[in-house]
Amino acid sequence: MHVKALTALILSAAPLAAQQPLSAIDWLDDAPTRIAVTGSNATSTGTPEQAKTEAPTADTATTPDVEVMTLDSSTTRDAVGLLPSSKTGLPSNLWSASDARDVISALADIEATVPAISTLVSTLLLAEADPPAVSEVDDALLVARIERLIEDGAVDAAAALLERADPNTKSLFPLWFDVTLLLGDMPEVCTTLLNDPSLAQDLSQRIFCLARAGQWHQASLTLSSAEALGQINQRDADLLTRFLDPEMGEDTPMMPPPSKPSVLQFRLYESIGEPLPSYRLPRKFAVTELSGDQGWRAQIVAAERLARAGTLSSNRLLGIYTMRRPAASGGIWDRVEALQRFDRAITTRDPKSVGTALVNVWPKMKEAGLLVSFAELYADKLQGLPMSATAREVSAQAALLSPLYEEYALALENDPTFAFEAQIARGIAPTQVSDRRFAAEIAAGFAGQEPSERVSSLLKQGKLGEAILQAIALFQSGVDGNGPDLTEGLAALRTLGLEDTARRAALQLLIAGPSQS
């Protein structure tokens, strides 16, 4: 496989301001106090007691340049990652005491309920770490990590991880095929498959690549043989028949869309002139709309969906929002217009215009689940501008959702509206509980509670990665309505040294609410 430098969708470093962990864990003693990664200007803003920083988190999915190299023969693929310990702060034995089946099961069950948790999940998926002690199938954990990245819409990151691992194996080739189809860059994967047909277990892939290579007669013969021998499912056969003979589609009715198409089926529907709307499909398909080939509206919908999941940077979202002026009104266009108007106002620095535009755009971005993206873009530019009381309140919320939340919290300590959030931002147990949803459970999580027995047991066994996944699962359960689990999840994150994650997750839950799908 040709090796080249990629700019993968990975996690850039964040401003971190974590407290000393509530209990001592060996790996934390060696964690870096600051991460130096392309694009970061992070410094700790805490007090001396709060100066120990947390490594395995980030604000955004903005990507540093990553040099991708193939593995030597002595390296186990399950250990492959794009983020070394020097950048994540996570130890190399993250998974080494675990059974791969337990890790894979836990990864499949967790959800990213707020952007801070999404960032932590992405860090775990991309981290370099020793393979699990027990694994019944080669590459099992790597396959599960890549599959999760793809499902989350982090297709660029999955592509980079595949290249790092060298995907010319039977376990990784199907993922490589799907990723290249989603990204629209097929020549290399098809050449590889045609040179070694044993890599693909699905004959549909070989037929597609034969056609792509101009070998139409061979593709047609292979399809006919596969149908006769029952080696291909009927939908794939029908789609490939129309793909190979476009004129046939002119005299036959449109094919009913599947509820869960494969990536190849998605592209075949597109090729025969019956594209499937990506917004009705799993998130990974949203990546195909980012080119704008299906129109600006589809591009915006896809960008918003990926930004909510933390797999599209805030700057790229802004670029798509501001490509042109909306020619319609209502729904998504009102949000685009409001954002563009605010962006123009913040450029002028006119306080009155900024305040008016801010009060207008904030609820629209909240409705779309994009307050954290908005705060990353604009919170710093809002600070210090004289505005109305309503606009100042919105500005304070943006500040608390921004990467510099702790620094801005210092100015809000004596503001009764935000005193609770300001204490959470500084890692202090609140003296009074806010009436906001989740506030009581969050306050308890910052009051020094010990982690759950399950998390403690995993730590004693040296299963740090599983302990982090369990803390995420508890947080998720708490967001779903099991209040004590939210408290335990936050307490566990703090005990594990993931202070920045705990604070940002709590603030995001309080101000922006749970993430949308």
Residue 478 has pLDDT above 90, yes or no: yes
- Tens-digit pLDDT profile for residues 254-264: 788 888 999 99
Query: Is residue 507 over pLDDT 90?
Result: yes
> Would you place residue 18 in the very low, low, confident or very high pLDDT band (cuts 50, 70, 90)?
very low
Mean pLDDT (the chain, rounded): 86
- Among 11-25, 76-90, 236-250, whose mean pLDDT is lowest? 11-25
pLDDT-wise least confident of 40-49, 129-138, 279-288: 40-49
Q: What is the pLDDT of residue 249?
A: 59
Amino acid at site 10: I
What's the rounded mean pLDDT across residues 320-339?
Answer: 94
Of 98, 77, 56, 154, the C-alpha closest to 499 is: 56
CA dist 261 and 269 (Å) reads 10
pLDDT at site 75: 52
Return the pLDDT at 255. Answer: 82
DSSP string, 148-206: HHHHHT-HHHHHHHHHHH---STTTHHHHHHHHHHHT--HHHHHHHHH-GGG-S-HHHH
Mean pLDDT of 280-285: 95
Lookup: tokens for 162: 């595949």
CA distance 223 to 21: 60
Percent of the chain residues topping a pLDDT of 70:
85
- DSSP helix/strand/coil, 227: helix
Cα–Cα distances in angstroms (integers) from residue 238 to residues 105, 129, 247, 257, 475, in the given order: 35, 44, 13, 12, 45
Separation CA 281–CA 182 (nearest Å): 13
DSSP 78: G
Average pLDDT over residues 130-157: 93
Helix H, strand E, coil C: the string for 441-496 is HHHHHCCCCCCCHHHHHHHHCCCHHHHHHHHHHHHHHHHCCCHHHHHHHHHHHHHC
Range in 207-211, 385-389, 404-408, 449-453 with the lowest mean pLDDT: 449-453
Who's near 56: CB < 8 A, 6+ residues apart? Answer: 88, 89, 90, 120, 123, 124, 127, 498, 501
Asked whether residue 66 carries a pLDDT value surpassing 80, the answer given is: no
How far lies 3's CA from each of 23, 80, 160, 270, 452, in Å?
Answer: 43, 15, 10, 30, 45
| Torsion from C-alpha of 207, 213, 214, 220, nearest 10 degrees | -10
Q: What is the pLDDT of residue 8?
A: 36
pLDDT of residue 35: 26
C-alpha to C-alpha distance for 130 and 103, rounded to whole angstroms: 13
Across 332-382, the runs of DSSP E, i.e. the strands, are none
Q: Find out whether 124 and 81 touch, Cβ atoms under 8 Å.
A: no
In this prediction, residues 500-513 reach a mean pLDDT of 97
d(CA 1, CA 350): 54
Environment class of 462 (CB within 10 Å of its CB; exposed 0-12, middle 13-18, buried 19+)? middle
Residue with tokens 């100015």: 411
- The closest alpha carbon to 14, from 290, 314, 306, belongs to 314
Residue 472: which of 116, 145, 152 has the closest Cα? 116
Q: Which residue has the higher pLDDT, 129 or 450?
A: 129
Confidence of residue 250 (pLDDT cuts 50, 70, 90): low
Please list, residue by residue across 101-128, b when 16 or more beta carbons sit within 10 angstroms of its beta carbon and e when fewer do: bbbbebbeebbbbbbbbbbbbbbbbbbb
- In the chain, the N- to C-terminal Cα span, in Å, equals 36
Task: State both tokens at 299.
Answer: 């591009």
Tens-digit pLDDT profile for residues 283-295: 999 999 999 988 9
pLDDT tens track for 352-375: 999 999 999 999 999 999 999 999
Across residues 183-202, what is the average pLDDT? 92
Q: In the structure, what pLDDT confidence band is assigned to residue 41 with cuts at 50, 70 and 90?
A: very low
429/20: higher pLDDT: 429
For the chain, helix (H) and strand (E) counts, in that order, are 26, 0
Contact 59, 14 (CB under 8 A): yes
Q: Give yes or no for residue 68 having a pLDDT over 60.
A: no
Residue 279 structure tokens: 């917004």
The pair phi, psi for residue 6, each rounded to 5°, is -115, 150
The region of weakest confidence among 54-58, 90-94, 217-221 is: 54-58
Say how far apart CA 25 and CA 193 lie, in whole Å.
47
Distance (Å, rounded) from C-alpha 69 to C-alpha 160?
10
Percent of the chain with pLDDT over 90: 73
pLDDT at 302 over 90: yes
Per-residue pLDDT at 474 exceeds 50: yes
Question: How large is the average pLDDT for residues 409-431?
Answer: 92
pLDDT at 65: 45
Query: Could you tell me where the DSSP H helices lie in 272-331?
Result: 296-308, 314-321
Distance (Å, rounded) from C-alpha 313 to C-alpha 303?
9
pTM: 0.85
The residues, any chain, with a CB within 8 Å of residue 256's CB and separated by 6 or more, are: none
Domains of the chain, residue spans: 203-276, 288-321
Instruction: Round to whole Å and give the CA distance between 469 and 299.
Output: 33
Q: Give the pLDDT band of residue 462 (cuts 50, 70, 90).
A: very high
- Taking Cα atoms as reference points, which of 180, 270, 176, 239 lies closest to residue 226? 239
Provide the pLDDT for residue 187.
Answer: 87
